[in-house]
Structures are given as C-alpha cells and as structure tokens.
Amino acid sequence: MCGFIGIFGPDGVDVAPEIYEGLLAVQHRGQDAAGITTFTDRFNVKKGYGLVVEVFDGDNMSRLQGHLGLGHVRYPTVGENRTEDAQPFHHTFPIGTAMVHNGNVTNYVELSHSRFSSTMTRLNSTCDLEVLLYVFQQGLAERFQASGGQITKEDIFYAVGKVYDEVKGAYSVCATVADVGMVAFRDPYGIKPAVFGQKRDEHGVWFACASESVVLDVNGYERTIDIGPGEAIFVDQSRTVHRQQVANEPHRPCIFEYVYFARPDSFLDNISVYKTRHRFGKALAEQWRDSGAPIPDAVIPVPDSARDAAFACAMELGIPYREGLVKNRYIGRTFIMPNQTARTSSIRRKLNPIDIEFKGKDVLLVDDSVVRGNTSKRIVEMVRASGAKKVYFGVTSPPLVAPCPYGVDMASKREFIATGRTNAEIAKFLGVDHLLYLDREAMNEAARAGNTKIEKFCNACFTGEYPTPDVTLERLKMIEVEREEKRDNTPSGSAC
C-alpha cells in the first residue's frame, strides 16, 4: 500500500504546502520514501528516502511552485533501493504527464517486455507505475496526433481505457497533464480506494484526489465523490469536473483496508473505517461468547489499529477495557518493515507493557490480524512476563492463507502462520491459552453495514479466490519469487 494526493488549485497559488500536509496524514501508508511533483511551465520535483519530515525542508519546498501537483508516500514490496523508484513519476514526452498510484500491476513483467525491452525503449526504474504511466501517455499521444494538437475529455477517457485494456491488477491513480488538468481513476474492480473532493476560498475553487478521505479532511476539502470501480474523473483547465464510467466490472474493494491499513478517521467507499472496526469488535465479542470461550478480566488492544475493535469488544462482553501496551509512535509498523530481522528487532522498541494491567489477571488481547505470527508471539511473551495468569487472543479478521498480488507485502503462503496449521496449533505457537479468529462472513457483514450497495469485498488473502482473472498460479509464483529476491537483497522496494 502507498498513500497519495493530487491537487488542482486556483491560478497563482502553490499547492505544495497542502500536499505536504496531506502526506503527513497518510504517512502510515508508506514510510520508505516520499515525493512531491508540481507544475508551472515545467515539472518541479523533490523525492527522497525516509519520512515526509525528513525528505522536505524549507529550501526544497520553496522550489515546488505551481497550482497543479502530486504527492506520494511509498510502502515497500518489490523493486530496488533507488531514488528513481520513488514517486511521483513524470515523463515530458510525448505528452507531459506526472503520476502517482497506490496498488500493484500484476502483469508488470509482461508489459515491461512488450512495451519496453522488445521495442528498444528503456525503463528508468523498477517501479510498476512507470509502465502504467507509459501506457496512459501513449493513449493520449494517439489522440493528440489524430486531433491535430488538442486534448479533450474524450481523449483523457480514451487513455484511461487503454490503461484498463493493458494494465492488470489493482491500482488507484492520480495524474496531472501539463496545461490540460488533473485526472484520477480506479482499477476496473475498485480494489484500491480513491476519493475526490473540493473546496472554495478567497483564491477560488480547489480540487483534490487522495487515497484516503483523511487527506481531504486535514486540508479542509469536502469529500464529494468516492471514485467508483472503472471510473475516471477529469478536471479541465476551466475547472469543469467530468466523470465517465470507462470499465464495468463488479466492485470488489479490499477488506484489509478496513481491517488494518486505513486510518480510523477515514471514509472509504462511503464506509466509516472507525465504525467498521467497532462492528468488528462487537462481532468478535458475540462470537467469543457464543463459542463458550472463557470470559477474561479485561480486554487489551494491540495498538493502534485494533484499539477501536477492542473497545467495542469489551463493551459487548461487559468487562473492562484497558490500555496495557504502550506504543512508541516514532517506530514504524512492523508489518511493513522490509525484512524479518528488522521486524523482530523493532518489536520491543515499538511496544512496552504496563505491568499492573496484566499482573495476576486473565486478559484478552485483541489484534486486527496475524500474518507471520512472530510479532504476536513476542507480545504474548511480554504479557506473560508482566505477570498475566491467562492470555487469550482475539483477531478481528479470519486466518490469512493466501498471498496478495495487489500491493500488500504477503508474498508467499510459507510466510503465513495459518498455512497448514489448525487453530490449536496456531494458539500453541503464539503461546496463548485460547485463540479465536473472527468469522469471515461476520467480518464482511460488519463492513457491508456501512454501505449496502457493495455486494462483495476482495477476500483473496483469506480465501485464495482473486477477483481479477489475470491472477494465475504461474503469476503468483512469479510475484512471490520477485518479492523474495528483492527483500533478501535490498532494504526496501518500490511497488505499492
């Protein structure tokens, strides 16, 4: 996963300060690199490795002038550790375009060969966005040449259609086209989220697109559109907003956004992440009680993304909610650390127990998911060392059993603790006295309650059933090999 924002502001204003604020709001979506690209009469670029506050300073922000711009924070999965892999990307030819995305191009290898290697055109990075950008630009160039030098909304939507025809996988995209406007679109199945908003001030009307609604909130935008699956939005130079349904596939938004990735104060597809996690916790408590599991003395969340669910779980069970694990907020998410050594060494730096909340008590730890299990195992060890009598574990999602080819760092079945293990075996590995996963349909119903128009969510990581037909066993193996090679050999990656 990655985070992005695109802004089309009034003439004469600089959008970079608002882009910076937006990137701070989605720093949780990527801590590997950050970048901003703006446009005046040329593209102005600043990209680098590290957190947003580390990449940008007063000097380089002053150079990022222009009322049209993009920003991005990167989460590592594959690719090489090079500045060239940080987003945004821009090409000045054949049509000057800058672009950011969140997601993963599943046919990247095939496209890089057919569009580049076999035509003697060369990629400048190992990031899949470059291929996507190239296909989009070629679509624009076709129409530009045919029309004799003018780009219309029909040309924009034609180029998006070319992307849908050729580029497979899951992605949400925002692009700025020099002297033309801003474009945003979402993959045909709508797996990755994208929101659009606008505001008005003394300078005029502003438009923004982002990967989460919180980015709009912090900058004072009203969320006006949840971009749909296969839908494209184009804001032209006159600030007219054009919408078109370019592809028609069933909507399959990623359920893991609500389980883990998104901020609780965001809305995705008109669903409150906060309310959904509350419903996860309530459903977990009902399942815990109905299963006859022992009732603990207190419910304690594994911070941060499980906090809302744990509170609702405690309320439903009628037992105290306690904060027993203190998180160091200056340590990144262990799940998105680039290798297992980094994950293991960072766990104790990340969390510290409050002994008095555990000593002599039976506690229910609530977490949003368990991937490899090593973090959970270490947390349980810390809790027992703090004097807990019994340690129970509740998970607000089902067991993860299948790799995600859509941009989440779950590359191999071998990495999942649930692969080939029974619930009792997982509990033994974690060192807990009782383990309960939330039922998959209960999880889906909890999310669907926020927007009944969504018939199904992408549950591929829980079932191995992928919504896009391009995902085959051969392609999964290819992605697995690529990710494992890059993760073993480099400290970070480039696809989102």
Domain spans of the chain? 3-251, 258-466
pLDDT at 205 over 80: yes
Assigned token pair, 196: 């659009």
d(CA 52, CA 72): 9
Assigned token pair, 169: 């996988």
Identify any residues that bridge with 156 across adjacent strands, giving them in sequence order.
Answer: none
Query: Annotation-wise, does 254 bind a ligand?
Result: yes
Query: Annotation-wise, does 368 bind a ligand?
Result: yes
Q: What is the pTM of this model?
A: 0.92
Whether 120 and 72 have beta carbons less than 8 Å apart is answered as no
pLDDT at 304 over 60: yes
Whether 395 and 370 have beta carbons less than 8 Å apart is answered as yes
Q: What is the 3-state secondary structure (H, E, C) of 154-212?
A: HHHHHHHHHHHHHCCEEEEEEEEECCCEEEEEECCCCCCCCEEEEEEECCEEEEEEECC
Query: Annotation-wise, does 461 bind a ligand?
Result: yes
Number of Cα atoms under 13 Å in the Cβ half of residue 109: 13
In which band, very low, low, confident or very high, does the pLDDT at 495 lie, cut at 50, 70 and 90?
very low
Residue 156 makes CB contacts below 8 A (sequence gap 6+) with 140, 177, 180, 183, 232, 234, 242
> pLDDT tens, 37-48?
999 999 999 999
Number of Cα atoms under 13 Å in the Cβ half of residue 358: 25
What is the model's pLDDT at position 494?
A: 40
What is the model's pLDDT at position 263?
A: 97
Question: Looking at 11-15, 200-204, 370-374, 473-477, which range is the least confident one?
Answer: 473-477
| Nearest residue to 353 (alpha-carbon basis) of 393, 313, 384, 316 | 384
Phi-psi region of 79 (alpha: psi -120 to 50; beta: other; left: phi over 0): left
In which band, very low, low, confident or very high, does the pLDDT at 393 lie, cut at 50, 70 and 90?
very high
Pairing of strands 434-437, 390-395: parallel
> pLDDT tens, 274-297?
999 999 999 999 999 999 999 999
> pLDDT tens, 425-468?
999 999 999 999 999 999 999 999 999 999 999 999 999 999 99
Residue type, 178: A
What is the model's pLDDT at position 488?
A: 55
pLDDT at 492 over 50: no
Read off the DSSP letter of residue 122.
Answer: -
Task: State how far Cα 414 lies from the chain centre.
Answer: 23
> pLDDT tens, 238-248?
999 999 999 99
- CATH C-level class of 258-466: alpha beta
The CA–CA distances, whole Å, from 260 to 308, 333, 371, 448 equal 11, 11, 12, 16
Whether 479 and 106 have beta carbons less than 8 Å apart is answered as yes
Query: Annotation-wise, does 496 bind a ligand?
Result: no
> pLDDT tens, 100-139?
999 999 998 889 888 877 677 778 888 999 999 999 999 9
Residue with tokens 């406007």, as numbered in its chain = 181
What is the model's pLDDT at position 7?
A: 98
Q: Catalytic annotation on 2?
A: yes
Query: Annotation-wise, does 458 bind a ligand?
Result: yes
Q: What's the rounded mean pLDDT across residues 153-164? A: 98
The CATH code for residues 3-251 is 3.60.20.10
Catalytic residue among 2, 127, 313, 496: 2
Secondary structure of residue 21 in the 3-state scheme: helix
Assigned token pair, 208: 């923004």
Whether 362 and 294 have beta carbons less than 8 Å apart is answered as yes
Whether 70 and 5 have beta carbons less than 8 Å apart is answered as yes
Secondary structure of residue 386 in the 3-state scheme: coil
pLDDT at 483 over 70: no
Element of type H or E holding 74: strand 68-74
Assigned token pair, 409: 């760092």
What is the model's pLDDT at position 123?
A: 82
What is the model's pLDDT at position 116?
A: 78
